[in-house]
Amino acid sequence: MKQLIEYFRTCLVIVLLPAVVFEIDLKAEELAVRISTRPGQMRYDLESFAVSPGADVILTFVNNDEMQHNLLIIQGSEGITMKVAQKAWAMGAGAVERQFIPEMEDVILHHTRVLDSGQQQDLRFTAPSEEGQYPYVCTLPGHAFSMKGMMVVTSNPQDIIPANKEAASSNHGDFELRPHHKPLVKRAFVEDGPARAINVGMPGGINFCFDAESCAVAFGWFGPFLDIGPDWGRNVNERGGRPVKVLGERFDAGQSIFPLRIGSKYATPQVEFKGYRLRGMEAPTFEFTVNGAWVKETITPAGKGIGLGINP
């Protein structure tokens, strides 16, 4: 009887041992990647990483910024990052419900939900079998211009040096103004802009230039806000005083004819700028007179797509 028991014990070890070894091997092949944000800069702290084709990946996205963010891993040709982002921005009211994830199943490989400040989410996936570059991006309004990175799928991932916050740099350095959680206002002559320019940057990446002479919006732009280096002087020996530079892509938002009429609709209105109010998180309110009548006007990002809404 003793010999029979020993025989079954030996058989049990032989059957179970391969299963235990197989499980350990699988865990050893998993690659852990952690991506967080660079607070106040609208950037990921890890802007590239490399994986082997078919590798099992656990990507942890941590939102340590004050703003909401998400992360989408996508595939496609050059320019696909902005195409996906613009699709998300054009979703309008439905964007929030859909977590700013457009319907592009053939392009979007993996994605997180929109994370509030302090939240994190794990993505578990198998890396593509085809070697190449696979971008990742935040699709909340205006974020994609700077909040993006690249997953490189290669058979030699050890040869790829990750781009992190120490290695990453901006051409505009400390002279780039970045709206974070509230609007920024900069009174400065802007390149190719009006003489009495008041430049407003919004947290969502929609910005505009208000002309205090005509009391109307001169133009808008989406993306990063302003490079004030030319005005301040980048180096000790530079005097500055040159026009600041718009960093995003401009769009037309001005009017060739002043939209308000008081009195005769044929008479040219006489406008006079009185100032603006900026309160906390709210968009600035501009105040001016039209033929002596006091007008207050608040300019905000459009509810859908890229544009501006004017609320008199």
Map out the domains of the chain as residue ranges.
Answer: 29-159, 173-311
Q: What is the mean pLDDT of residues 6-30?
A: 44
d(CA 14, CA 183): 68
State whether residue 114 is helix, strand or coil.
coil
Q: What is the pLDDT of residues 116-162, one digit of tens each?
A: 999 999 999 999 999 999 999 999 887 888 899 999 999 988 766 66
Q: How confident is the model at residue 235 (pLDDT cuts 50, 70, 90)?
A: low
Q: How confident is the model at residue 3 (pLDDT cuts 50, 70, 90)?
A: low
Q: What share of the chain is helix, strand, coil (3-state, %, to 5)?
A: 20, 35, 50
The fold adopted by the segment(s) 29-159 is Immunoglobulin-like (2.60.40)
CB atoms within 10 A of CB 238: 12
Q: What is the pLDDT of residues 247-306, one digit of tens each?
A: 878 888 766 666 677 777 777 888 999 999 987 778 899 999 998 899 999 988 876 667
Closest CA to 273 of 217, 219, 211: 211
Q: What is the pLDDT of residues 278-293, one digit of tens each?
A: 877 788 999 999 988 9
